[in-house]
Structure 1
Amino acid sequence: MSQKNTDGKRSARERLQEQRRQEEARAKRKRTLIAAAVVVAVLGVGAGIAALVAGSTSGKAKKGAGPVAAPQGATGKDEVAIPVGHAAAKATLTVYEDFRCPACAQFELAFRDTVRDLEAKGKLKSEYHLVTLIDKNLRGTGSLNAANAAGCAQDAGKFAAYHDELYRNQPPETDDAFARKARLLELAGKVDGLVTPGFRTCVEDGRHDSWVKKSQDVFTAGHFAGTPTVLLNGKSVFGDPKNPLTPDKLRQMVEAAQKG
């Protein structure tokens, strides 16, 4: 075999080897690019899922009850009671009521002066539990919004005055007027010094909404018949047609508790 043929065969082999190396390099780069694309795609899907989960969680947080923000001075188990009167009073009037409830308004209008007088004399302490039965039964948010606003009034130290103003201006049961926060703020204007920027924000933001819902949960768990439920030192005293409560009877029972 001539040297020329040998050199030709060697050159051909070298060209073939170089071609194979280039093809292998291209194949390797292609595999690398494909692998990188897969990783990016997987990360993208993962990020998308994470975003969906985060969005879902965020949505739930907004729609959920959130942390319970009780009004200042709320007492009792779960802090769902708003106290009015002297803490040392021997008689405690516990009232479960709904600002949209007509029977609650009847009770308040009939007994308010007596209750406030006994509180002022240090003989009676009242504990108000605000619930949302009418919202549930007739739909709407008036019970919730009014109770939240009353909680905001408690923060301002003006719960009793605002509570009484709401009942003096209670709309018909089927009229969800208290759902309008502008109406609640308008009535707050009847209470001296209540409408402040802090109170307005509290009402508009529903700061105590979760607390009101907690109060309703406690009421439901108590298996009470309805609103108003009125207890004096733990004993039901209102709603029995055979033995109706009157302001005079309430005063006598409170006086008896002082002696006891």
Structure 2
Amino acid sequence: MSQRNREGKRGARERLREQRERDRARAKRKRTLGVVGAAVAVLAGAVGVGMVASRTEDDSGKSGSALVPPRGAVGKGRLVIPSGKHGKDGKAEQEGKAGKAAKAAPVTLTVYEDFRCPGCKQFEDVFRKTVHQLQDEGRMKVEYHLVTIIDRNLGGTGSLRAANAAACAQDKDPAMFRAYHDVLYRHQPQETRDTYANNSRLIKLADQVPGLVTPAFRTCVEDGRHDTWVRKSNDVFAHSGYASTPTVLLDGKSVYGDPKKPLSPNKLKRMVLAAARD
């Protein structure tokens, strides 16, 4: 074989080797880009899910809004609105003639209510006068837990909006909470009509409580200042073991809703007087 032929074969082998190296390098680059691209796609997908989840929470109003208890709220998590003479520990004390904090009432009525609940309206219409009398005499204090089961069962936001507005009234004055609470039940719409979802309606009804409607009250209602607090109160009720509203307890014992042991205003008075003597 001539020197020229050997050089020619060697040159061909070199070119073939170089071409193979270039092919391998090209294939490696493609694999690397493919892995990187897949990783970017996964990351982008994860970011997309996070944004959707975040946006969903923000749109629902459940994320990013602080839990703000109304003024004077008591109990675990400050989820209870007290009414009546609770004494120093209850933070809802009333002053006697001498300017000293009144002694706490000896008996506690606990009420779980929904402002859209017809059964709650029935309880309030029958027992309102008696409950107020026992409160004003210092014989009984009331602890209100505001819940939203009608919103959950029938849809809408009227239970939430009304509870927030009642909490706004509590911010203004505990006496105004009681008065506005009663106004909301007196004017309760039909259960299937979500009238209380309208903040303007709630503010108009608040005009029936002298001095309640102020710029601060309007802002509190319209901004849903206590919405997260109401949701928390409802969540606690949902895990409490009680299943319906109204749930009414006297010193922790259920006293309302049992057809075998019906409660009347006079019977409630007797029970409160008996409990106070014990």
The TM-score, its normalising length taken from structure 2, stands at 0.73
Q: Which structure is richer in relative contact order (CA contacts within 8 A, separation 6 or more)?
A: 1
**Aligned position for 1:81:** 80
**CA-CA distance at 1:256 after TM superposition:** 1.0
Q: Choose from 131, 144, 152 the match for 2:160.
A: 144
**Per the alignment, in what secondary structure is the counterpart of residue 108 of structure 2?**
strand
Q: Take 1:244 and 1:69, find their aligned partners in 2: how far apart are those partners?
A: 37
Q: Choose from 118, 137, 142 the match for 1:121.
A: 137
**Aligned position for 1:209:** 227
* Residue 190 of structure 1 pairs with residue 208 of structure 2: yes
How many residues are matched? 217
The one-letter amino acid paired with 1:114 is T
* Residue 109 of structure 1 pairs with residue 122 of structure 2: no
Q: Take 1:159 and 1:177, find their aligned partners in 2: how far apart are those partners?
A: 20
* Residue 134 of structure 1 pairs with residue 150 of structure 2: yes
**Aligned position for 1:27:** none
The one-letter amino acid paired with 1:190 is Q
Q: Take 1:209 and 1:175, find their aligned partners in 2: how far apart are those partners?
A: 20
**CA-CA distance at 1:58 after TM superposition:** 6.3
**CA-CA distance at 1:178 after TM superposition:** 0.4
The one-letter amino acid paired with 2:186 is R
Structure exhibiting the larger radius of gyration computed from Cα positions: 1
**Aligned position for 1:164:** 182
**CA-CA distance at 1:85 after TM superposition:** 0.3
Q: Choose from 154, 168, 173 the match for 2:191.
A: 173
Q: 1:97-132: per-residue Cα shift (whole Å, max 9, x none)? A: 100000000000100010011111111110000100
**Per the alignment, in what secondary structure is the counterpart of residue 241 of structure 2?**
coil
Q: Take 2:148 and 2:187, find their aligned partners in 1: how far apart are those partners?
A: 18
The one-letter amino acid paired with 2:170 is Q
- In the TM superposition, 1:25-64 aligns within 5 A as 59=55, 60-61=57-58, 63=60, 64=62
Q: Take 2:243 and 2:149, find their aligned partners in 1: how far apart are those partners?
A: 11
The TM-score, its normalising length taken from structure 1, stands at 0.78
**Per the alignment, in what secondary structure is the counterpart of residue 137 of structure 1?**
helix
**Aligned position for 1:253:** 271
* Residue 72 of structure 1 pairs with residue 71 of structure 2: yes
**CA-CA distance at 1:225 after TM superposition:** 2.3
Q: Which runs of 4+ in 1 moved over 4 A?
A: 51-58
Q: Take 1:241 and 1:52, find their aligned partners in 2: how far apart are those partners?
A: 54
**Per the alignment, in what secondary structure is the counterpart of residue 190 of structure 1?**
coil
Q: Percent identity?
A: 59
Q: Choose from 243, 251, 255 the match for 1:225.
A: 243
Q: 1:220-253: per-residue Cα shift (whole Å, max 9, x none)? A: 0102020000000000000011110000010111
- Judging changes above 3 Å, is the alpha-carbon distance between structure 1 residues 134 and 124 closer, same or farther for their aligned structure 2 residues? same
Q: 1:119-170: per-residue Cα shift (whole Å, max 9, x none)? A: 1111111000010010011000000000000000000111100000000000
Structure 1 unaligned regions, length at least 5: 1-44
Q: Take 2:142 and 2:195, find their aligned partners in 1: how far apart are those partners?
A: 27
**Aligned position for 1:92:** 108
**Per the alignment, in what secondary structure is the counterpart of residue 219 of structure 2?**
helix
The one-letter amino acid paired with 1:229 is T
- Judging changes above 3 Å, is the alpha-carbon distance between structure 1 residues 225 and 52 closer, same or farther for their aligned structure 2 residues? closer
**Per the alignment, in what secondary structure is the counterpart of residue 106 of structure 1?**
helix
**Aligned position for 1:18:** none
Q: 1:81-108: per-residue Cα shift (whole Å, max 9, x none)? A: 1000001111000000100000000000
**Aligned position for 2:36:** none
Q: Take 2:192 and 2:267, find their aligned partners in 1: how far apart are those partners?
A: 32
**Aligned position for 1:236:** 254
- Judging changes above 3 Å, is the alpha-carbon distance between structure 1 residues 71 and 243 closer, same or farther for their aligned structure 2 residues? same
**Per the alignment, in what secondary structure is the counterpart of residue 93 of structure 1?**
strand
